[in-house]
Structure 1
Amino acid sequence: MSESEPSSATFCVRNRDGDLLRAKGITILDSYSLVADVIAIRIRLQFCLENQIPNIIVESDSLTIVNIMNGNFDFRTFQKLPSNGRKIIDMDKHNILEIRIR
């Protein structure tokens, strides 16, 4: 896949009863699904922080992301990260990602 092909990052936020609070999608200039999933999680968390929504449960259909969030990966150096992980960190370091959680 070419890195210039647009992709999308989408998310939805529901309350404890399953009612939809917000659904959103953005176009990103990256064709890697892992990157799109990570961006979707970041914008979902940003929405929850901005709207003071506590007790967040994050779900993903990406086993890699679930394993990372559950702490099943431990990388001690940048070079040992998978290439997609290095790319995400590089993009973030250079302010390429559109949304940051502060």
Structure 2
Amino acid sequence: MKIIDSTTLVAEVKAISEGLQYCLENHYSNIIIETDSLKMVNIIDGVWKIPWSVSIEVGSIHRIRDLISVRVQHFLREGNTLADFFANLIFNFAGTYEFKSNQDVPSEGRKIIMMDKGNTPYIRTKQINSSTQ
């Protein structure tokens, strides 16, 4: 299947590549990557052709997978709440964030972590405004 390049695809593959590089440098193993992008799972697992715009990063991911145990799995976007929180946190920030403990994470992020630990389901809702005439 031919994949159309997108900024989202490039950003996600770079994040995965850099995250795995961090794991390798800090001697983490048995890594599980969870993504809400089935496209990304299929590209990394070699099911789909690698778009040229991400070929270097995907190659880096494959090299790291040869050195440590890495599993890539798909999950529904409702499971992406914490990742969305962190992405929004750094969106307009030019520096670097590093959290070494839960206490370092802003309170909203800690709430998401605690909900996840408690297996509290997250239900995405959308409010519809109805106009009356």
TM-score band, normalised by the shorter chain?
Answer: 0.3 to 0.5
| Greater share of residues in helix | 2
Greater share of strand: 1
TM-score, structure 2 length as denominator? Answer: 0.35
Structure 1-normalised TM-score?
A: 0.44
